[in-house]
Amino acid sequence: MSSSPTEILLPHRPTGTLPAVVTEGDRQGLFEVLSTIPDPRDPRGCRYSLVSILAVAVCAVLAGACTFASVTDWVRNQDQEVWDRLGFSDRVPAATTVWRLLIRIDADVLSRVLARWLLARTAPVTMAGRRWRLVIAVDGKVERGARLADGRQVHLLSAYDTSTGVVLAQVRIDAKSNEIPAFTPLMRLVAAQLGSLQDVLVVADALHAQTGHAELLAADGGHLMVTVKGNQPTLHNQLKSLPWAQIPIGSQTRETGHGRKETRTVKTVTVATPGEMAFPHAQQAVRITRTRTIKGNTSREAAYLTVSLPAEQAQPADLGTWARSEWHIENRLHYVRDVTLREDAHQARTGNGPAVFATLRNTSIGYHRTNGATNIAEATRRANHRPHDLIDAVTTSNPALTRGNPTTQ
């Protein structure tokens, strides 16, 4: 008989099968969701359930574990009741067992399954105003500690839902390539998660000011908002040469904090006339001027953007807000992965290890964000101190019904 009761309740799916879509009926908990992931191991001689090991990895990173070794330490230091609830009997797997399995898991499948799990647990976003829309921020991140044998670093491209804090999809960039070719497969994964890209706005930095990206999103009913810089000289010169001095201010905001005063001024102009702008589907040109005063020193910079939404669907105030949402993926995801979950210090580089652990970090941040946490470090510490409450929270369909959600109390 298997040493794992979870394995009895949740038999493995045949190797090579695709994960089932997580529907409303699949919201009962983490174990059921993880059971859809194919097991890369030969079933002969498997001592520990795949579901149990994956559940340990998820829970440990939710509790702040930053490395494969710390994942094993977390479960080893729990009591027998936690072991039983996670599907272990009188012993837990060694660190090498956990590592060997996790570096072989299909990182793309794991990312899709855990993103669906988070989305299924997320309360619907209240639509604030008639122009509210779903904004997805796209950006890449290099895992600086994960150096391959030839010295190159692992590079991942992510799509981040700015309304919920959930990473909808993540793809690994080819070692000899860059973010541009990875945009299309990333958007296909996002479309699979959401059902379609209809009316979705994608915001990205200047690297993604590509005609192919605009055409791809337009074909699927989505929209693109990108900063334009010197990598697109013709378009940049067109935007810069518009008569901005004659265009009235559309929106202006002022902020003070951290010893800094900042004024952001947004101007927009319609450029939808065919052939008027050297970028497909561009409806509006945008200039955002940022004036900052720090310790008496004032600086001023202007950023130029294009957006495929017409003025009636995107007013200057909206565009200013959406432009800032591009930074959410940096400040609320990548920064937290580096500082709180110490990603750049993690030197895992074998197999799918870097992408798998990045997915676990994304899941931890998204989970705590959807439960209302604003300080992820504090949320992980609380989860670590209350393992039973954490297991309650991840194994039920409604976190509000648990006996003590460790991220909200």
pLDDT along the chain (409 residues), means of 10: 35 34 51 92 87 95 93 93 90 92 93 94 62 88 69 84 94 82 95 94 95 96 95 93 94 88 94 76 95 90 95 93 91 92 78 89 95 94 94 70 41
State the pLDDT at residue 22: 37
CB 289 within 8 A of CB 264: yes
Beta strand pairing status for 223-228 and 201-204?
parallel
Contact predicate 364/62, CB 8 Å: yes
CB burial of 180-208 (b: ≥16 within 10 Å; e: otherwise) equals: eebbeebbebbbebbeebeebbbbbbbbb
Q: Are 304 and 287 in contact (CB under 8 A)?
A: yes
Strands (E), 229-347: 251-257, 260-270, 284-294, 297-307
| pLDDT score at 381 | 96
Q: Provide the edge-to-edge strand list for the sheet that holds 166-172.
A: 166-172, 153-161, 135-147, 201-204, 223-228, 297-307, 284-294, 260-270, 251-257
Is the sign of the CA dihedral 402, 116, 72, 101 positive or negative?
positive
Q: Could you give the CA distance from residue 373 to residue 29 in angstroms, rounded to a whole number? A: 20
Give Cα 400 distance to the centre of its chain.
23
Instruction: Using the structure block, give the residue that is written with the tokens 């518009």.
Output: 242
CB count in 10 Å sphere of residue 132: 12
How high is the pLDDT of residue 399?
Answer: 41
Task: Determine contact, residues 174/375, Cβ cutoff 8 Å.
Answer: no
